[in-house]
Amino acid sequence: MATRTRLASALALFALLALAGPALASSGDRHPSFKLCTSLCELKRCELHHPPLAWHLRALLWTCADDCAYVCGHRLTDEADAGRENYHQFFGKWAFHRIFGIQEPMSVIFSLGNLAVNYRGLLNVTKYVRDDNGLHPWLIVAALVQINTWFWSTIFHMRDLPLTEKLDYFSAMTTVAFMLLYAVIRVFGLQTPKSRSPYCFKVAAAFGVFVLSHFVYVSSLALFPYGYHVGVAMVLGLVSNSLWILWTLSFYIRIPTVKFGNHVLTWPYPYPPRNPQLTARPSQANTPSILVVLTMLAMSLEILDFAPLWRTLDAHSLWHLATIPLGEMWWRFLIKDANDLQVAQGGGRLPLSSASGLKQATD
């Protein structure tokens, strides 16, 4: 389906605050040569007595018509390489060389890289964060949610079908929403290593209801609303980025208290009871803000959306490549932060672990 163009146009449109739906088809699939090529190909090859596709293509659910679109997309791209034609996208994607029926091998490899990093994150949480740290279960769920997302991203880039596309999009939304929830509970101290606010589960339940109703709503429409879906994810992502930037800022400036009616929302110290403006800043004070800026830069690759190099390496796969080291750095930060907060609250001793600079949880 038309993921690539839709995503890129959605991002661009979002920048202009115009969340209209992006174009549905691409120039390539409307091109007369492509249309002629696919009709001839289907007449010739999509008949009962014609030998079936190779088993590995059928295993990945390639139909004869899909295969014709693949062959014809490459044929028109050959013309572009020869300078007789412009580069076109087909149903929202450039022509990529498939390997054993895998549609976008680079995005598959990089998605697996992200999956591995989040799996390491999961192992590191169990290894370095104490079980009695109240943030421990939230970090475990954060790892599982992201492992699930990268699993479906891998499947989706192997084979772009309506179902795999939905699973990828819905999982990505779950990750963005959960990471925002984590930022909210961490920054406002709804859950700390030592205590939990009575609002904590209410806020989490509100997130759950929001995400589920989003899924029900977008599934109820005849056409999947790409622009709206990506727009919602962007808003959630921007809010969580802003919260982490405020977290960094709170080491430098006093952030005023906000009053709603008779409820007072105080900006907590990042590591209470230390007043961040009076004591030395910890080394990770700037880390989340740096990661936010790097993530936004990497995401701007999506807007470039250039024709893939060697019909293999495109902007979207580079975005997945960039999130591998970013994910690793997020995990190091989240683990160190959860441990430092536990120490600040007077919880267990956490000697420095030699190699990684991570704090090891031992009694």
Ligand X SMILES: *[C@@H]1O[C@H](CO)[C@@H](O)[C@H](O)[C@H]1NC(C)=O
Residue 29, SS3? Answer: helix
Q: Is 124 in the site for ligand X (CB under 6 A)?
A: yes
What count of other Cβ atoms lies within 10 Å of the Cβ of residue 123?
Answer: 11
d(CA 172, CA 214): 13
Q: Which is nearer to ligand X, 228 or 333 (CB)?
A: 333
Long-range contacts of residues 190-195, Cβ cutoff 8 Å, at least 24 apart: 191/134, 191/135, 191/138, 192/134, 192/135, 192/341, 192/345, 193/132, 193/133, 193/134, 193/135, 193/338, 193/341, 193/342, 193/345, 193/347, 194/134, 194/342, 194/345, 194/346, 194/347, 195/134
Q: Which is nearer to ligand X, 102 or 129 (CB)?
A: 129
d(CA 55, CA 50): 14
Binding string, 235-264, against ligand X, x = CB under 6 A?
------------------------------
Q: CB under 6 A: which stretch of 12-20, 193-201, 256-264, 326-334 binds ligand X?
A: 326-334
Q: Is 176 in the site for ligand X (CB under 6 A)?
A: no
Residue 286: CB minimum distance to ligand X, A = 18
d(CA 307, CA 184): 39
Binding string, 332-361, against ligand X, x = CB under 6 A?
x-----------------------x-x---
Q: CB under 6 A: which stretch of 62-70, 89-97, 239-247, 328-336 binds ligand X?
A: 328-336
Residue 268: CB minimum distance to ligand X, A = 25
Q: Which is nearer to ligand X, 143 or 177 (CB)?
A: 143
Residue 112, SS3? Answer: helix
**DSSP letter at 93?**
B
d(CA 363, CA 348): 6
Q: Is 62 in the site for ligand X (CB under 6 A)?
A: no
Distances 86 to 40, 76, 252, 307, 316 between C-alpha atoms, Å = 22, 9, 52, 10, 20
Residue 135: CB minimum distance to ligand X, A = 15
Q: Is 134 in the site for ligand X (CB under 6 A)?
A: no
Determine the angle formed by the axes of helices 287-304 and 226-249, rounding to 10 degrees.
Answer: 150
Residue 224: CB minimum distance to ligand X, A = 33
Among 328, 337, 339, 342, binds ligand X (CB under 6 A): 328
Binding-residue total with ligand X (CB under 6 A): 9
What residues from 92 to 121 belong to the interface with ligand X (CB under 6 A)?
117, 120-121
Single-letter amino acid code for the residue at 101: G
Q: Which is nearer to ligand X, 37 or 335 (CB)?
A: 335
Q: Is 213 in the site for ligand X (CB under 6 A)?
A: no
Residue 355: CB minimum distance to ligand X, A = 6
- Positions in the binding site for ligand X (CB under 6 A): 117, 120-121, 124, 328, 331-332, 356, 358
